[in-house]
């Protein structure tokens, strides 16, 4: 799946959603959604994720904080019945001055 790029400032709190309904057969039921983040060194980061929820095939989450100049990889995963798994990726760029 293609990776999208999103930019925010360290002080913004932004809600994001991903809908997996186009990624699976219509008869598949979702079993769980997970959102994880890693920084540019590959270390897991939990401090930038908040309020992760799932409603059927839609996963919602908030991006908060972050270190100015750091890039994060956000991985949104959905598990469906029968063990089918789909992943989506967002590159988050945190910039205090987004025009630089």
pTM comes to 0.88
Is the pLDDT assigned to residue 2 strictly greater than 60? no
Mean pLDDT on 8-33: 86
30: tokens are 């979702």
Edge-first strand listing for the sheet containing 71-80? 3-8, 85-94, 71-80, 30-38
40 in helix, strand or coil? Answer: coil
Domains of the chain in sequence order: 3-94 (2.60.40.10)
Q: What is the pLDDT of residue 53?
A: 93
29-76 tens-digit pLDDT: 788 889 999 999 999 999 999 999 998 889 999 999 999 999 999 999
73-98 tens-digit pLDDT: 999 999 888 888 899 999 999 999 87
């Amino acid at each position: 799946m293609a990776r999208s790029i999103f930019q925010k400032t360290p002080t913004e709190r932004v809600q994001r959603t991903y809908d997996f309904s186009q990624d699976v057969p219509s008869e598949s039921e979702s079993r769980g959604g997970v959102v994880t983040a890693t920084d540019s060194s590959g270390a897991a980061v939990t401090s930038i994720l908040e309020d992760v929820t799932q409603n059927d095939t839609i996963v919602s989450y908030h991006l908060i904080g972050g270190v100015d100049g750091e890039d994060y990889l956000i991985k949104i995963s959905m598990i469906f019945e029968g063990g089918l798994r789909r992943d989506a990726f967002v590159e988050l760029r945190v910039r205090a001055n987004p025009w630089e």
